[in-house]
Amino acid sequence: MAIFNNTNDILLTQDSEFQELNGDFLQGDCSNNYIYYITASNLGAFKQFPLIGIGINSYLNSGGNRQLLESTIIRQLKNDIFSTPSVDLSDFPDTIKINNVVVTRQ
């Protein structure tokens, strides 16, 4: 079950604004954006795919179970479009790195 057919899409800035060049939207690999939105969103946030979402801020603010978080991240990303996500929890609960995407506590 993939939300997107591939990871080539319109590029976004860090503030989730469209990237533009000469009045046109830039396109490219958006896998980092997908990882960020899947991890940041809660279950049910995507109406069409209610089982996609991790709610990472709940984990970061709870100091919860590392193994549960890692398995949840891997399962969610595998359910979407990532076959072998790399999860680094060495700085948990302050920072989590997923395929070079850094998610920090807010």
pLDDT at 89 over 80: yes
Indicate the Cα dihedral angle 42, 34, 23, 17, nearest 10°: 30
Please give the residue that has the higher pLDDT: either 29 or 89: 89
Q: What is the pLDDT of residues 24-80, one digit of tens each?
A: 988 887 777 788 888 888 988 888 888 888 888 877 766 667 888 888 888 888 877
Domain layout of the chain by residue ranges: 8-104
Stronger pLDDT, 1 or 43, i.e. the higher one: 43
Look up the pTM and report it.
0.70
Domain at 8-104, CATH class: alpha beta
pLDDT at 1: 34
